[in-house]
Amino acid sequence: MDQGTVIIVDDDAAIRTALGDLLESADYAVTTFDSARAFLDGPVTPGAACLLLDVRLPELSGLDLQGLLRAEGRELPIIFMTGHATVPMTVQAMKAGAQEFLTKPVEETALLAAVADAIEQHRRRLASEEGLADLRARREQLTPREAEVMDFVIGGLMNKQLAGAIGTTEITAKVHKRRVMEKMGARSLLDLVRMAERLGLSATPLRPGRPPGS
């Protein structure tokens, strides 16, 4: 199984080498950079990863880099390292979403545990994003009428009520409903409702003047 990638950003070559050797011995892929700017100019790492980031860096500090990544929407778990930690610095980093804040010299067991947690968190996030993208693609495959039907169905309408809501026969309403379930890959109404919640959809209320089943 792919263990994931650890991206090390530290201006000390000896530290980069030592940390890289340790992480590679634990079967992680490792990429190193000597500055925040070099990291930003490099390629985006595919798959599950975490950033092992020194706080004190030339030009752009680790905290500066954290802020830039957040502004760009790059949700990469960050483990900070520093030999000169202060309480305000730690609080700032953690409030901005840092995964962990380790003091140099970094204790190996603590580092490996933090990396494992960070990469697992990123793996779950990527899986969730991939699943949401798949749901959006399924939703886009619905015809306008099927999308309308889905928005009524997630409100719990029975077939007769659905037929009245969309102005068609009950048999036709059942056909539309079945196609929605098939295209969305929903095994039950509850499954479809959960999909709608992930997509941020709300049930369409019955229109005034058209009673259920009319």
For 56-72, what is each residue's pLDDT tens digit? 898 899 889 988 998 88
Its sign, for the CA torsion 122, 123, 124, 130, is positive
Q: 5-132: what CATH class? A: alpha beta
Give the domain ranges of the chain.
Answer: 5-132, 141-199
Q: In this predicted model, what pLDDT tens digit does every residue of 132-163 receive, in sequence order?
A: 999 999 999 999 999 999 999 998 888 999 99
CATH architecture of 141-199: Orthogonal Bundle (1.10)
Instruction: Specify the pTM.
Output: 0.69
Using CA atoms, how far apart are residues 8 and 193, in angstroms rounded to an integer? 42
Residue 214: pLDDT over 50: no
Structural contact between residues 9 and 65, judged by C-beta atoms closer than 8 angstroms: yes
CA-angle at 40, arms to 134 and 62, nearest 5°: 105
